[in-house]
Structure 1
Amino acid sequence: MPTPAAQDPITLRPERLVAGGDALARLDDGRVAFVTGALPDEEVEVVVDVDRSDFVRAALTEVVDPSPDRVVPTCPFRRDGCGGCGWMHLAPHAQLDAKIEIVTESLRRIGRFDASEVARLVRSGGAVDPYGYRTSIRLVGTPGRGVGYREERSDRVVPIDHCQIAHENLSRIIREVEVAPGVELSLRTSVATDAVTARWTRPEDRRRRGERRRTNVAAGESVKGLPGDVHIGDRAFLVERVSGVDLRVSAPSFFQSGVDAAEMLVDAVERAAPELVGAGHAVDAYAGVGLFAATAMRHARHVTVVESSRSSCFDAKENLRHRSGSGDRSVAIARTDVARWEPDSANGAVDVVVADPGRPGLAKPGTGAIERTAAPVVVLVSCDPVSLARDARLLTEIGYGVDDVEVLDIFPQTPHVECVTRFTRRGD
């Protein structure tokens, strides 16, 4: 097939879904085509919108022969182009299987693990409910002072008046709130208490190099219609309950997509590291508000929390206050980048590290920090299959072996995937 010219429709049959959510197909000239909105084994017509020497990106124009797993998105805003739920055209029962396949392929192709070994290691860990699961959302103001989400791979905002994956406490606010154009409004609610926090960023508050600075501007300037009991600004916080533990979560602090997701991750970490029950020293790296330190590590004699965010460290200190001064349960909180952190030998040898880095993963700096702990057990919580594959290879290069990879779907209707992987140090 000759190189497709822009706007010339071509017919493809994708092979599989890949990290990021696109379907992968091949042109007759051998190049890979990434098709947004297509599913494996469908016959689709597409238009190429990015043409490179080694790959193309294409937009779906027609599904000629649909997959049995294809469904019509239930959300009208997704049908209008909203980028929040990029997999709503894939039946919910098929989404976790697709994510397992993506993780398997990533470990094989990027991590360079043997296919038979990967098949033995990777398993399903379950999924949260596909609707109403998000307790944190970020909206964007529209020209009419409504709210919306950005279109997929675009800055265009698709107006909405409800969201099927948002918790009902947030959906009520979506219907009433007025937001100035371009303002980003972050909302979070607690399932335990129904409290809601809100904070926002105006376009003019953005610093150079694209960094956004959250500001506590007057509500009348940028946001109107928030209920009177909503807690506003960077000092706002709520209390969420996970695994029977109450956790303070400040508005600027990172937390999981919802409480069900947090519960599922805690359970998976506890399964991955039963050694935590009798651990003398456990490390919660990239700890956020101390989710794992306060739950999965509750029986460890000493816990070290490593986190760079000021607000998250403050929350973690509150969430682990019961350990301070305790004779048999102590805690140390290190506010620093994991890459620069040095274990304190005064707290004893590290028995288990649980690391939950952002989308880039551990990379070499984070892997170096884990190597300095010499921990016999490492549990890696990954939110990207590509970074998981890279990190798994890096960890094997410093003497760890992969024991188990549990794939969780805590972001249904989207291609985002979470994995909990157990590593153990192999003998010299």
Structure 2
Amino acid sequence: MPLKPMNQRWIRPLVAIFTLAGIVVLAGCGGGSGAPNNPFAPGPPVIGPLFVLPSAATVYAHTPATLTVSGGSPPYQAFSSNSAILPVAQAVGSATIVLLPADVAADTVVIITVQDSIGQTAISTVTVSPAPLLNTLTIVPARTICGANTVCSGDTATATVTVAGPTGAGIPNRQVRFDVISGAFAIQTNNPASPLASSVTVVSDANGNARVVLQATVNAPTQPAQIRATDLTTGNSVTALFTIVQQTEGSAILSVVPATATIMGADTAHCSAGFRIDYFIYGGTPPYHVSSTFPDAVTLVNPTVFAPGTAFEAITNGSCVNPLVFTIADAIGRQTTSTLINEPGTAAVTPPTPAPALVLAPTTATSAACTGATFGFVITGGTLPYNVASPGAIITPVGGIVTTSPGSFSISGFTTGSGVHPVGVVDSSVPQKSATATITCS
């Protein structure tokens, strides 16, 4: 058998030895609690998907908006597909992306892409729309008596703003909220239970106009006031400043017919009595309250008037006034006046026709048998009624009052031989007239 070369005889044992040593070394490295192949050790953290919310949004030119980033592995970076229309900051802080769109002539779609630190991406599709324009908020008062850009206390005014597109055309059916910022006024509503409010939302009309009616507080002192109109779709707003002016003079809006009534008495010695004048009230806000400067000089009928075009009545009582002033105040404090002049007439005083002389008949009566006798008398002339008296006598009618002319009465109750008994009659003239008679009982 031929001999093998020396190197072949030694190579195989050496390979076997090195192989066994490697197995021993590898076995010695394992088994410890910190070994990489420990099945109980926690695995690497799980990174979730990346989100941008909302995933689709509509924003308006020059109206700020935001997107929110969540998930993924921060920090984040943001990129815009059209930075001229919708620029964004590349570094995203606090997981919020602030959007400030530029002007656009029509709806423009921009893609916002967000990338996290491990390369995940998410997008939001943003539509940039032209922003409606709010023109100047105007205040038009119901009356201009208090001046330009002013509202009289207690009065109303109309606040108007136009919602318009980039071309200037009005945008209909847009919700616009009007808010009281400051001042003594409120906004009228269509709710009978709450007719006034500090905030009211209305819808723009076919021309894009949105309007509300303002109501200034009654007798409010002069002061500045502010109102704001906000387009609820975009958040755009505009503010107007006006002045509330205290106004109690109501002659420009209240009227009374007649403004002055003049009446005269029958003659130079007398003023009118029992004459009725009707004063009709127009304008303002009912009910109206009426008062006078001389309450005892007239009788006021219906001093509270509840409807325009209705009258209060003044009835004279003979008192002379020049003038008597009626003050008429409406429900919100505006006032106006009317007057009454009641003066003596121009005719000379006619002296009264004197009453005819008072005549009593007979003037004497004599009887020798007075006991049980009755004596009759007749009265004429003078002024009714008559009053009869005779001491100790029984007079019929009872009380001695005679109310007719000619009138009669009777005397009784005397005794025979009682002598002479006087009988007296007076009338109601000024001065009084009188007549006498005697009864002789012999």
TM-score, normalised to structure 1, is 0.18
* Higher RCO, Cα 8 Å, sep 6+: 1
Name the structure where strand makes up a greater proportion of residues: 2
TM-score, normalised to structure 2, is 0.17
Name the structure where helix makes up a greater proportion of residues: 1
